[in-house]
Structure 1
């Protein structure tokens, strides 16, 4: 094996940051379990805090960090595609839901950007910032590309997506209790439509059926939004 060639592709500094990022995630998961899976200590929140602290202490720029951990960022796409496995395993149940399930996703996918635009219009934000929140309920890879197409700020969109996912999962527990919802299909559709991949991860913790319906909602809402939102701006903006 040509180790010199490999060291040219991957620097020592990049390997260190990759290792630190994985360590931060594992530590965040351990903390999450230690607090009995309290969503306030979600691994994404704790992991982001740990990584931000390491970046600040090392005086590494955010741009450099993004370059160092690009292999991990790239894996976000294949990881999202891998969610098709539980979707396939529950395909009969999903097909049995028929058009009702699709209707829920479409309605939720339309309401989400409208609500986001409504509350952010109350503040004096620039147009690019307002456009960056329209993709808050679709998974990060689609949100970043879609936001870039419509003239928003991709980095801001990625942050909004994460915050939306975490808040959606936190408040979903309250909503499910208030509505006395015990249907795994409904829980999955709600989590996947509103809270994308983070909600889908939570749905898989409920049961396989909820995870499958959440995966379907994640995919359908993401695809529809990524296609129709740029098309809408192209036609009317």
Structure 2
């Protein structure tokens, strides 16, 4: 089987670079049915679907498998956004369960430490699965933590350390919020083609798709901007066109 990074790149060549953050709140009923409908309606404009903790928790194994299997039927990759961060054994058991549920990649928090992160990436890559690590999130308050100056071997900001760890562990990509285009530029310059940049925060949170893509983002993670639109298909199509430069 091809690697996660290769699979995602392949589908993005035809479908563009939009990843749907299918993260509904508790007011939405019939989550499985709604999610499957989204996949069927929006798949021509998506390369992947991302499912967060608050969508996964109300669902059972059968429902999650229905979602991931439907995604794969349309060629989409599936990402479990659980900010995984624990000791090695817990991380291993967690991803084994995620892979059995049909996920192709997991988003992890590198605060677990470089050794644990390396191990997570290694055991995931052996099964052709992907690991995407947090670098700098999209919320305004992210600066309170990710911009903290730290000193280990040298003085740097926390997101810079996380970027170094992602590179060192050979992760598949990093998350950098679309609301911080200058940080995207910094990361893109440093990583080159070694990893992909995934950026949430376009639309509702204030990120501009064209600016972010020109700054070096590879994939846009979009949720409420599409999900809450009066015409989700048209919004997804417009973002898709922007992602392929049209």
More relative contact order, 1 or 2 (CA 8 Å, 6+ apart): 2
Q: TM-score, normalised by structure 1?
A: 0.30
Q: TM-score, normalised by structure 2?
A: 0.29
Larger radius of gyration: 1
Higher helix share: 1
